[in-house]
Structure 1
Amino acid sequence: MKFKTFAMFVGPSVFLMLLFIAFPLITVLINSFQVTQPVFTTQEIETCTPGFLTQTCTTEVKTIPVLGDDGSPITTTQWVGLSSYANVLGGDRFTRALADLNMGAILQIDFWKALRFTLTFTLVTLPFVLGLGLAIAVVVNNATKAVKGPVIFISLLPFIITPVIGALSIRWLFYGDGILTVWLELWFDTDLSIAANGWAVEFLMMFYRIWHVAPFAFVIFYAGLQTVNQDTLESAIIDGASRWERLRFVVIPHLMPLIVFITLIHLMDAYRAFEEVIGFSSESQRITLQYLTYDYLRPDDAGNRQISSASASAMLTMIGVVILLAAPLRRTWRDHRG
């Protein structure tokens, strides 16, 4: 293929990737090393209230932002280096807690609290997603043609539902006077407040993630099962291999590239979890790194946003994703070279 033809095919994709991926990443990286703040000035403001004979006046000094000719606040940008990263990681609080080996104090810092839950959320749900997806795929693959269609449709429903709507559906079953909460209260003859228990909320968030993502793994595994070598399976049956042995020594090795693929997708997606925090209103108990970045971007009472801290949090989140993906990518590269 000529270079001109190759460039015509690849050029638009490369341009869009640079525009919508590379440029925003570089911008976020630069913003994480600098702080933009409005310029303030102090003024004496006299306030007078009407009185019966004479009015009462008070003078106070107020700090107000400096406005430009267009009426918008004037801002100044300062290069702060790694200060934003230190602020996100906890700064002096983290240093003192680490020196005292006080894990409780470390987990009180927003970043480390979010990191603890994000890692737990990602790594605990991964084996359940793989196992449940494979189990459904095996069951559907061995089912009769008459029931395959309805079973596949029902299995895909959790994946089709919008993430926030799915999270709210699970929440309504357990929060307050939800149907399942009422049943549990009658069964155990006690009052339950699941929303007030952080570990119960964390369990529900993980349950929702597994329920929502397992159908994706099911579809991938089901497609992979159609390519399993039937001669190898028949040879295993003749040799007296049980169902479990055929699954373990024939099917799973054949599906290993798909397992690595699903692992990569799940690690990237679960590490950036956000909908669960919103759907289950767990901001006061469990937050994720993605929600922490969003929280930095929320304006305070004065309307200011912590752009630098949000950029630093986003870069740390991306670094975490790269670290998590290192092992599966290394295996993929080794298999590719082999």
Structure 2
Amino acid sequence: MKFRTFAAFVGPSLLLMMIFIAAPLVSVLWQSFHLTQNVFETVETERCTPGFPNAVCETITVDRPVLDENGEIQTVTSFVGWQSYSRVLDPDALGAAISSGDWWSILNIDFWGALRFTLTFTLVTLPLVIGVGLLIAITVNNAVKTIRGPAIFISLLPFIITPVIGALSIRWLFVGDGILTALMESWSGQDIAMFAQGWTIELLMMFYRVWHVAPFAFVIFYAGLQTVNMDTLESAIIDGASRFERLRYVIVPHLMPLIVFIALIHLMDSYRVFEEVIGFRSEAHRISLQWLTFDYLTPDDSGNRSVSRASASSMLTMVGIVILLVPLLRRTWRDHKGS
């Protein structure tokens, strides 16, 4: 392919990536090292309270924001270096917890608690999504043609539902006197509160993610099963290979590039878990790195937002995603060079 033809195809994509991906990343990186604050001035004002026969007045000193000629609050931006990252990571509290041997207290620090949940959520749901998706794909592929279409349609329904709506639906089944909670209470004869402790909420969030994302893996694997070399599969059957052996030595190696692809997509998506935290309202028990960034950007009582800490949290989240993807990207690169 000529370079001009290649540039004509790739150029628009590269331009859009520079505008919508590279430029925002540079902006977030810059904001993580700078702090923008409102400019205040100290003024004296007189405050009077009703009194009899005369009002009682006193002079007080107050701080108020400085306005520019357009009536907007003036701000000043200063370079703070790694200060925002230090506030997010809180190394002093981390060091105190490590030195005292109280490892569980580390999870009380917002960032480290969010990191623990995010990593657990990502690494636990990854093999479940791949395993359930592959199981559904093999089942549908071996089903008779008359029920294959309806089976594909039903399997795709969880993936079609909007994530927040799906999370709320699962929550309504278990919260309070939900249908499934009432059934479990009638079966066990005990009061069950699924949302009273963090570990049950975490299990429900993982269950929802697998239920929601496994259909995506199913579609990819089902398409890959259509390209399996039937001669190789029939040779394995003739040689006496069992179903498990055919799956292990023929089907899984053939689907390995698709497994790596699904793992890449799932790692990037699950490490940015946010909808489950909002849908299950787990902020009091479990928070994620993405939710922590959202919390920093939420205005406080005075209307201020911690943009610098939110930017630092975003950059740390991106670094975590890159670290998780490195092994898979190295494998993909080795396979590409080998081919």
Task: For residue 139 of structure 1, give the secondary structure of its aligned residue in structure 2.
Answer: helix
CA shift for structure 1 position 191: 1.2
* 2:36 is the counterpart of 1:36: yes
With normalisation by structure 1, the TM-score equals 0.97
Q: Give ranges in structure 1 of 5+ residues lacking alignment.
A: none
Q: Which residue of 1 aligns with 2:162?
A: 162
Q: Distance in 2 between matches of 1:67 and 1:305?
A: 19
Q: Does 1:66 align with 2:66?
A: yes
CA distance in 2, matches of 1:41, 1:99: 43
CA RMSD of aligned residues (A): 1.1
Aligned to 1:233: 233
Match of 1:291 in 2: 291
Structure 1 pair 244–2 and aligned structure 2 pair: CA distance change class (3 A): closer
Give the superposition deviation at 1:85: 0.6
1:117-146 CA distance string (max 9 Å, x none): 000000001111011000000000000111
CA distance in 2, matches of 1:113, 1:187: 35
Q: CA deviation at 1:5?
A: 3.9
Query: What CA distance in whole angstroms lies between the structure 2 residues aligned with 1:17 and 1:50?
Result: 64
Alignment coverage as a number of residue pairs: 338
179-188 or 109-118, larger mean C-alpha shift: 179-188
> 2:210 and 2:5 mapped to 1: Cα distance?
45
Matched, 1:195 2:186: no
Q: Distance in 1 between matches of 2:105 and 2:264?
A: 32
Q: How does 1:248-259 map to 2 (within 5 A)?
A: 248-259=248-259
CA distance in 2, matches of 1:124, 1:2: 46
Query: Structure 1: how far apart are the matches of 2:10 and 2:327?
Result: 29
CA distance in 1, matches of 2:296, 2:302: 14
TM-score normalised to the size of structure 2?
0.97
SS at 1:73 equivalent: coil
- Is it true that 1:317 corresponds to 2:327 in the alignment? no
Q: Tell me the distance in 1 between the aligned counterparts of 2:252 and 2:336.
A: 18
Residues 91 and 72 (structure 1), Cα distance of their counterparts in 2 relative to 1, 3 Å cut: farther
SS at match of 2:78: strand
Alignment deviations for residues 154-181 of structure 1 (CA, whole Å, 9 cap, x no partner): 0000000000000000000001110011
Shift of residue 196 of structure 1?
1.2
For residues 141 and 4 of structure 2, what CA distance do their matches in structure 1 show?
Answer: 47
Q: Deviations over 1:175-215 (max 9, x none)?
A: 11100111111111111111111100000000000000000
Stretches of 4+ aligned residues off by more than 6 angstroms: none
Q: Which runs of 5+ in 2 are unaligned?
A: none
Q: Per-residue deviation at 1:2?
A: 4.4
How many angstroms does 1:99 deviate by?
2.7
Task: Tell me which moved more, 96-105 or 221-230.
Answer: 96-105
In structure 2, what is the equivalent of residue 92 of structure 1? Answer: 92
Structure 2 residue aligned with 1:113: 113
Q: Aligned partner of 1:11: which letter? A: G
Residues 131 and 295 of structure 1: CA distance in aligned 2, closer, same or farther (over 3 Å): same
CA–CA separation in structure 2 for the residues paired with 1:3 and 1:229: 36
- What is the SS of the residue equivalent to 1:196? coil
Name the aligned partner's letter for residue 143 of structure 1. Answer: A
Deviation at 1:91, TM superposition (A): 3.4
Identity of aligned residues (%): 67
Alpha-carbon distance in structure 1 between the residues aligned to 2:265 and 2:168: 24
Matched letter for residue 282 of structure 1: S
Matched residue, 2:271: 271
